């Protein structure tokens, strides 16, 4: 069935905001050589993950369908696509921009990522220090390993405020 | 003697304790004076997907705090290294971004500065301490052990900013291992990715990435793997068993060490001083070859 | 010239001007302006009666300035200059005012204001005309000979065309033999004819032509003079063989014990220390490579000397220099492959079985290192699978931005080489777009893609790795099938990007011609004048203007030769009327003018104990950059002097009287 491009929701607002976010990289320059996908770590394990397709959908303005799918969160940020793209599109930068756009438009990132972000806000690090198990099932902690205790980051209160503003209502 | 701020980031001080222990014990013996930097928190790397500016802000903060101390930063983690160098470049190139960040930081009494040197363990040891100095200190050479260096993505890429290693043909890590007496060598995709960042999206796929990596390395007859990134360690070492079950391939098994742990062994430190009992991969064989035991 | 006597002529141009404003009123206005002796209007000034009218006025009223207010000078300036000439006046005493395009066509709806503007423009012209002076055109005879730099197919074709037109040609080639890249090719697309079979007869024609002198193993080291009269200094590099004695028998090369990598085989095969580039070399005169010769490196051997039947070996030869005097220069220095070690992710130079397309040409050639067999370089085995990678370094912001224009067709040809040498081999062609635009190319593409075990994969590998057995492994996403493919290949062929030769930049500076962003020679106009340069008398042939396949190269070279023949047969060159002229009393010799001149027409010379700017009247194109830059006003441009322009502008600023 043929579906008109308009019907597929070309979203100019999304497109413009991605273009702005990825400057100086220009998704429009992509000529679909798929070198990025040949390089991509995620593509090797997730068949439906294709950075060149993400760029193609983006430059067509078909961004909503991309955000709906949630696939952008599979990127390992290995930066291989950015390294090898002959047109300096740097798909990884496009993907980061899409993630930012998704969050700003109310899409929910993976739960673990939200948890990390909350910890950064509250503790200054992605996690509190945890207890770890050795192969022999002994439990170790910073204290038991004689490592100095962790302190809150410098000016934590104001940092918290700034971060909350930037990260929005997670 | 070179004096640096020991910047631990997030993963190392909250989970990957072996890296912190081994770094704290090994680096001073190589002539690196470690200055505590406890007020520095996360570099922001994990936040960039949510909001790129949050990332920039967090790294700008670390750079500024370090320049208040007037000392170079030593990042142990690849992610931190990339963040700090990338944000330093971005802020130096983009005047309006710089102004924006300066304003955010001014609110909390921090003056934005980016003129601070950033090192990673690999380039600090290779370029500043020097391979020869390390060679001189070796007491128990790792002779006869073939070790695959695993630099990890963010030691190499993006390469349009200054990096500790050559992005396509990383050599420094191998040079350091050779200095310890180990044998090193080529294997395909040495600059490959461990898949850690994929974990929040899907553990299953991330484990497949790990499995692929280890298979690749084993095919080239290596006895062990060495990395200098807590994420790579977490994936290759801690998640090794899970990766093996995920793909159902019994051959996926290899000892994994931090670079600092191997240096420590070679200069004669004890497994305890290197946190070796925290490694979850089968390191015993290699240790035995070196005549040390975990319990001892 | 004594008293200024101006005639002003206002043209109606039918209704074009006369239908909007009243030309007689403008003439009436003009007649009262300073030094205007006569002012008239007429229906068609450019018609013969119109021209006659001016001519007679000049004679009757002893006019020495003429102003014609009519259409654009682009249209009729030459016409009216002709009138002045006929009446015995210097044509540059004419001034045209464009009251059609600039006035009546654009202000048709406000005729009153239009007429006002016409008057103002005429007034300004009259004020400017007070300061017009006679301009002399310099003429120089043209030396009827040409220099062709570079002896590839472009240089060969250009040299032959020039020589056949009766022009003396000097062909300078830096290598031992002419022939260029075409000599290194095994076959040529799209017809697959043997490259040397169609090339070497032309090389022989060059060698035999009475009008052509070849200077091989030579290079241009200095160029001076200007169009029509270039002085060119050529360095004849020492060959250590007296070519005037040598008969080309080749005995010397047979016994030479020293081995060196053979450049002609792109480093794959070996040659002797005394060598010809290839068996059909022209000139067939060997050279000794002192980097490898045992006499030069160890002080032993001299076998060649003993074997040479005519005593031509001369170990004491030094650089020799000759001076050539030519009217025109054709630049045909071709291209080089982009250094594939820079495309690091593909491992060229690191993995033995990754080669360039040109190396594959050498493997396929019967005169090549494997006598025409295509093999894996790591172990000499026949490849079971070959991967051909297109756009290696081309169309890439990190390497070369432009398209190499022959990689696609070469890749298609290379499928044929592989299938011809190893019929059961599998060939993977990794492409982004196939640009088979030339005549017969699409048909050629169709033929090859119809072959068995040839797979066209639309995708580009990102990283190539070496497997334990020396074969190459890589992943490539194929957008035709939508699959990520893992490929293991015995041989990877890179169709490399193309760049200007390494030493081109210094030659380009000597010739004073511009380059495009890729570094290739810049043509005068990309569409209309693709084989001329901004420097008169210097023409471009072949790939040095930008990558070209052989058909395009030959067409380009023939066009360059035709243009050079036209230029040389005019017999003389003329200076521009708008020459830069120096008031030597005012000149301080600061040299700013010379630094801004895009044509390198100004030289600062010592004269009478001080420095003075001197303009080369043939080089100067009258762009005016120097005059605008000169801080002391010493440099003026003919027809646009400061006084002329200032009086015109201040007249306009003050409004019509
Ligand atoms: C792998 C490969 C396969 C190809 N196959 C085909 C094909 O099948 N069909 C086809 O139509 N085209 C083919 N081409 C393209 C073909 O090579 C070019 O079209 C052709 O060589 C251009 O000729 P040219 O004379 O302009 O340059 P060149 O062949 O490069 O000749 C330039 C000459 O100038 C000399 N020179 C350079 N600098 C100087 C200097 N400073 N002083 C003196 N001499 C100098 C060089 O030594 C050389 O002899 C192929 C190209 C490649 C790389
Ligand atoms: S590598 Fe670059 S140009 Fe090629 S498909 Fe990916 S984004 Fe587009
Ligand atoms: S950065 Fe993301 S999209 Fe790019 S190659 Fe790595 S995993 Fe794939």
Cα–Cα distance for residue pair B269/B26, rounded to 1 Å: 8
Q: Could you tell me if B157 and B226 lie in one domain?
A: yes
The gap between the terminal CA atoms of chain A, to the nearest Å, is 39
Q: What is the complex's ipTM, to 2 decimals?
A: 0.95
pLDDT at residue A10, as a whole number: 78
Which residues in chain C are contacts of A47 at CB distance < 8 A?
Answer: 484
Say yes or no for a CB contact (<8 Å) between B57 and A83. no
Q: Which atom of ligand 1 is nearest to the CA of C337?
A: 53
Look over chain B and give the mean of its residue pLDDT values, rounded to a whole number. 96
Q: Which residues pair with A29 in a beta bridge?
A: none
Tokens 């290598």, residue?
C175
Q: What is the domain count for chain B?
A: 2
Q: Quick check: is C644 in a domain? A: no
Nearest of C184, C58, C63 to residue C132 by alpha carbon = C63
C35 and C52 fall within a common domain: yes
Q: Is B188 a domain residue?
A: yes
Which ligand approaches the C-alpha of residue C547 most closely? 1
Which of C499, C521, C550 is the endpoint of a domain?
C499
Residues B170 and B281 in one domain: yes
Ligand nearest A36 Cα, by number?
2
Q: Looking at the domain assignment, is residue C649 inside a domain?
A: no
Among C433, C382, B163, B61, smallest CA distance to A160 is for: B61
Short-list C154, C152, C147, C148, CA closest to C558: C154
Task: Report residue A4 as tokens.
Answer: 């008109």
Q: Whose CA is nearest to atom 2 of ligand 3?
A: A75
* Residue range of the domain that includes B68: 2-119
Question: Is the CB of residue C149 below 6 angstroms from any atom belonging to ligand 1?
Answer: yes
Judge: C479–A47 Cβ closer than 8 Å, yes or no: no
C231: tokens are 């002085």
For position B31, which CATH number holds?
A: 1.20.1050.140
CA C182 – CA C188 distance, rounded (Å): 8
Mention every residue, 6+ apart, whose C-beta is less than 8 A from residue A82: A90, A91, A92, A93, B157, B158
C-alpha closest to that of C239 among C177, C158, C164, C297: C177
Q: How many domains is chain C partitioned into structurally? A: 5
For position C655, what pLDDT does the model report? 57
Cβ atoms of B293 and B287 within 8 Å: the answer is yes
pLDDT score of C599 = 84
Average pLDDT over residues B119-143: 98
Mean pLDDT, range C358-369, rounded to an integer: 97
CA distance A52 to chain C (A): 10
Q: Are residues C13 and C78 in the same domain?
A: yes
Band the pLDDT of C657: cuts 50, 70, 90: low
Closest residue in B to A112 (Cα–Cα): B200
- Angle at which helices A91-104 and B52-69 pack, to 10 degrees? 110
Q: Which of C574, C601, C626 is the last residue of a domain?
A: C574
| C657: in domain | no
- Identify the residue whose C-alpha is closest to ligand 3 atom 6: A78
Work out the burial of residue C130: count CB atoms within 10 Å of its CB; fewer than 13 is exposed, 13-18 middle, 19 or more buried. Answer: middle
Choosing from C175, C181, C335 the residue with most ligand 1 atoms within 8 A of its CB, the one to mutate for a pocket test is C181
Which H or E run contains B284? helix B284-289
Q: Judge: C395–A35 Cβ closer than 8 Å, yes or no.
A: no
In angstroms, what separates the C-alpha of B235 from chain A's closest C-alpha?
Answer: 13
| Residues B56, B152 within the same domain | no
Task: Give dist(CA B17, CA A129) in Å, integer.
Answer: 10
Question: Is residue B134 assigned to a domain?
Answer: no
Indicate if the alpha-carbon torsion angle C164, C165, C166, C168 is positive or negative. negative
**The pLDDT value given to residue C2:** 80
State whether the beta carbon of C554 lies less than 6 angstroms from ligand 1: no
What is the structure's pLDDT at C410? Answer: 98
Q: Which domains does chain A have, with CATH numbers?
A: 5-104 (1.10.1060.10), 111-166 (no CATH)
Domain presence at residue B131: no
pLDDT per position as a tens digit, B25-60: 999 999 999 999 999 999 999 999 999 999 999 999
**One domain for residues B72 and B210:** no
Identify the band that residue A2 occupies on the pLDDT scale cut at 50, 70 and 90: low
Q: Report whether C308 contacts C125 (CB < 8 A).
A: no
**What per-residue confidence (pLDDT) applies to B296?**
56
Return the pLDDT at A169. 66
What CATH code is carried by the domain that includes residue B242? 3.40.50.11810
Residues C539 and C589 in one domain: no
pLDDT band at A3 (very low <50, low <70, confident <90, very high): low
Which member of A125, A132, A151 has the closest CB to residue B10?
A: A125
Cβ-Cβ contacts under 8 Å for C499 (sequence gap 6 or more):
C335, C336, C337, C338, C400, C518, C519
Strand partners, B75: B7, B120
Average pLDDT estimate for A77-98? 97
Ligand nearest to the CA of C545: 1
Q: Is residue C77 part of a domain?
A: yes
> pLDDT-based confidence at A1, cuts 50/70/90?
low
Nearest to B153 by CA among B209, B226, B203, B79: B79
Full domain range(s) for residue C348: 336-499
Do the chains contact at C432 and A43, CB–CB below 8 Å?
no
Calculate how far, in angstroms, residue C514's C-alpha sits from the geometric centre of ligand 2: 33
Same domain? B279 vs B156: yes
Q: What are the tokens at A37?
A: 């996908």
Residues of C with CB under 8 A from a CB of A: 345, 391, 395-399, 432-433, 458-463, 474-479, 484
Q: Quick check: C656 pLDDT over 60?
A: no
Asked if pLDDT for residue C218 goes beyond 70, the answer is yes
Chain B to chain C Cβ contacts (< 8 Å): 13
Q: Tens of pLDDT along C48-71?
A: 999 999 999 999 999 999 999 999
- Say if B127 falls within a structural domain: no
pLDDT (tens digit per residue) in C1-33: 589 999 999 999 999 999 999 999 999 999 999
Within this chain, do residues B22 and B146 fall inside the same structural domain, yes or no? Answer: no
For residue C553 and ligand 1, the question of a CB distance below 6 A is answered with: yes
Q: What is the pLDDT of residue C654?
A: 84
Q: Do C433 and A52 touch (CB under 8 A)?
A: no
Pocket of ligand 3 (CB under 6 A): A 36, 39-42, 51, 75-81, 91-92, 95
Tens-place pLDDT, residues C504-528: 999 999 999 999 999 999 999 999 9
Q: Out of C574, C603, C630, pick the residue that ends a domain.
A: C574
pLDDT digits (tens, 9 = 90+) for C406-434: 999 999 999 999 999 999 999 999 999 99
Give the ligand 3 atom nearest the CA of B193: 6
Same domain membership, residue B148 and residue B84: no
Query: Residue C647 falls within a domain, yes or no?
Result: no
Contacts of residue A92 in chain C, CB cutoff 8 Å? none
Question: Encoding tokens for residue B21?
Answer: 């222990």
Q: Do B143 and B280 have their domain in common?
A: yes
Domain CATH code at residue C611 = 3.30.70.3270
Q: Which among B119, B151, B176 is the end of a domain? A: B119
**Number of CB pairs, chain A paired with chain B, less than 8 A apart:** 187
Q: Are B199 and B89 contained in the same domain?
A: no
Residues C182 and C228 in one domain: yes
Spatial distance between the Cα atoms of C12 and C9, rounded to a whole number of angstroms: 10
Q: What is the pLDDT of residue A11?
A: 82
Joined tokens for residue C440: 């017969």
Tell me: do B285 and B143 sit in the same domain.
yes
Answer yes or no: do C458 and A35 touch at CB < 8 A.
no
Average pLDDT over residues C327-350: 98
């Amino acid at each position: 069935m043929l579906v008109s491009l308009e019907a597929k929701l070309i979203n100019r607002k999304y497109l413009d905001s991605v273009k702005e976010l990825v400057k100086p990289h220009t998704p429009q320059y992509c000529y679909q050589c798929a070198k990025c996908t040949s390089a991509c770590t995620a593509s090797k394990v997730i068949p439906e993950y294709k950075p060149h397709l993400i760029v193609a959908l983006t430059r067509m303005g078909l961004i909503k369908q991309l955000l709906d799918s949630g696939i952008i969160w599979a990127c390992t940020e290995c930066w291989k696509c950015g390294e090898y793209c002959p047109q300096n599109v740097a798909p990884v930068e496009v993907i980061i921009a899409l993630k930012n756009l998704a969050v700003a438009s109310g899409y929910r990132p993976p739960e673990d990522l939200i948890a990390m972000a909350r910890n950064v806000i509250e503790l200054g690090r992605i996690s509190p220090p945890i207890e770890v198990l050795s192969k022999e099932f002994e439990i170790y902690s910073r204290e038991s390993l004689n490592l100095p205790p962790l302190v809150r980051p410098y000016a934590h209160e104001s940092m918290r405020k700034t971060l909350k503003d930037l990260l929005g209502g997670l | 003697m070179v004096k640096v701020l020991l910047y631990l980031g997030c993963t190392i001080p909250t989970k990957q304790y072996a890296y912190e222990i081994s770094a704290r014990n090994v680096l001073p013996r190589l002539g690196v004076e470690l200055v505590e930097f406890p007020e520095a928190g996360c570099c922001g790397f994990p936040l960039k997907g949510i909001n790129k500016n949050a990332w920039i802000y967090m790294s700008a903060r670390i750079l500024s705090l370090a320049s208040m101390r007037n000392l170079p930063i030593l990042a142990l983690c690849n992610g931190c290294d990339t963040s700090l160098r990338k944000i330093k470049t971005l802020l130096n190139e983009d005047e309006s971004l710089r102004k924006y960040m300066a304003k955010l930081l001014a609110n909390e009494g921090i003056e934005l500065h980016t003129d601070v040197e950033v090192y990673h363990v690999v380039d600090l040891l290779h370029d500043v301490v020097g391979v020869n100095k390390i060679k001189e200190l070796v007491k128990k050479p790792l002779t006869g052990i073939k070790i695959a260096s695993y630099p990890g993505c963010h030691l190499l890429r993006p390469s349009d900013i200054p990096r500790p290693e050559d992005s396509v043909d990383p050599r420094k890590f191998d040079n350091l291992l050779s200095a310890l007496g180990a044998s090193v060598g080529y294997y395909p995709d040495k600059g490959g990715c461990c898949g850690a960042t994929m974990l929040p999206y899907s553990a299953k796929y991330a484990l497949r990435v790990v499995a692929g990596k280890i298979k690749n390395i084993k095919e080239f007859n290596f006895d062990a793997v060495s990395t200098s990134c807590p994420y790579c360690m977490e994936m290759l070492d801690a998640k090794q068993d899970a990766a093996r079950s995920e793909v159902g391939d019994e051959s996926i098994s290899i000892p994994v060490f931090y670079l600092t742990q191997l240096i420590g062994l070679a200069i004669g430190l004890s497994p305890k001083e290197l946190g070796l009992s925290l490694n979850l991969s089968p390191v015993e064989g290699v240790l035995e070859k070196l005549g040390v035991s975990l319990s001892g | 010239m004594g008293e200024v006597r101006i005639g002003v002529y206002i043209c109606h141009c039918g209704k074009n001007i006369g239908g909007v404003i009243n030309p007689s009123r403008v003439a009436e206005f003009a007649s009262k302006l300073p030094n205007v002796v006569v002012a008239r209007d007429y229906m068609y000034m450019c018609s013969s009666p119109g021209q006659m009218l001016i001519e007679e006025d000049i004679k009757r009223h002893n006019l020495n300035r003429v102003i014609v207010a009519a259409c654009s000078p682009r249209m009729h300036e030459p016409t009216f200059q002709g009138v002045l000439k006929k009446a015995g006046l210097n044509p540059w005493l004419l001034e045209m005012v464009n009251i059609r395009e600039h006035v009546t066509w654009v202000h048709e709806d406000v005729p009153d204001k239009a007429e006002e503007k016409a008057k103002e423009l005429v007034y300004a012209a009259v004020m400017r005309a007070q300061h017009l002076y006679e301009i002399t055109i310099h003429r120089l005879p043209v030396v009827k000979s040409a220099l062709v730099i570079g002896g590839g197919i472009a240089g060969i074709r250009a040299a032959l065309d020039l020589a056949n037109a009766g022009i003396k040609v000097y062909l300078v080639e830096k290598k031992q033999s002419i022939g260029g890249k075409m000599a290194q090719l095994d076959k040529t697309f799209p017809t697959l004819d043997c490259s040397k079979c169609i090339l070497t007869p032309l090389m022989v024609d060059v060698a035999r032509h009475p009008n052509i002198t070849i200077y091989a193993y030579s290079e241009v080291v200095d160029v001076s003079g200007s169009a029509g009269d270039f002085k060119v200094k050529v360095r004849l590099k020492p060959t250590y063989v007296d070519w005037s004695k040598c008969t080309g028998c080749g005995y010397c090369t047979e016994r030479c014990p020293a081995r060196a990598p053979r450049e002609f085989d792109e480093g794959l095969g070996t040659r002797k220390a005394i060598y010809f580039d290839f068996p059909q070399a022209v000139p067939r005169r060997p050279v000794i490579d002192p980097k490898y010769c045992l006499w030069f490196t160890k002080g032993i051997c001299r076998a060649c000397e003993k074997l040479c039947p005519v005593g031509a070996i001369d170990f004491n030869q030094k650089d020799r220099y000759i001076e050539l005097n030519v009217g025109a220069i054709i630049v045909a220095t071709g291209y080089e492959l982009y250094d594939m070690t820079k495309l690091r992710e593909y491992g060229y130079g690191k993995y033995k079985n990754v080669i360039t397309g040109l190396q594959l040409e050498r493997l396929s050639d019967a005169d090549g290192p494997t006598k025409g067999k295509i093999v894996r370089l790591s172990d000499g085995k026949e490849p079971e699978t070959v991967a051909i990678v297109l756009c290696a370094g081309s169309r890439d912001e990190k390497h070369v931005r432009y398209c190499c224009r022959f990689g696609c067709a070469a890749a298609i040809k290379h499928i044929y080489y592989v299938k011809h040498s190893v019929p059961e081999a599998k060939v993977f062609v990794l492409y982004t777009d196939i640009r088979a635009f030339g005549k017969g190319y699409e048909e050629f593409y169709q033929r090859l893609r119809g072959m068995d075990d040839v797979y066209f994969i639309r995708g580009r590998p990102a990283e190539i790795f070496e497997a334990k057995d020396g074969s190459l492994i890589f992943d490539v996403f194929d957008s035709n099938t939508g699959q990520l493919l893992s490929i293991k290949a015995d041989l990877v062929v890179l169709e490399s990007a193309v760049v200007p030769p390494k030493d081109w930049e210094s030659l380009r500076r000597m010739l004073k011609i511009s380059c495009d962003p890729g570094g290739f020679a810049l043509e005068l106009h990309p569409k209309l004048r693709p084989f001329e340069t901004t420097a008169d008398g210097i023409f471009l042939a072949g790939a040095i203007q930008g990558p070209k396949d052989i058909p395009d190269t030959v067409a380009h070279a023939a066009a360059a030769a035709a243009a050079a023949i036209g230029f040389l047969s005019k017999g003389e060159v003329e200076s521009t009327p708008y020459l830069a002229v120096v008031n030597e009393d005012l000149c301080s010799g600061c040299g700013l003018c010379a630094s801004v001149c895009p044509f390198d027409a100004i030289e600062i010379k010592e004269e009478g104990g001080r420095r003075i700017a001197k303009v080369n009247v043939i080089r100067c194109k009258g762009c005016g950059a120097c005059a605008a830059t000169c801080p002391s006003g010493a440099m003026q441009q003919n027809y646009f002097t400061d006084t002329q322009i200032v009086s015109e502008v201040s007249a306009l600023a003050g409004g019509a009287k």
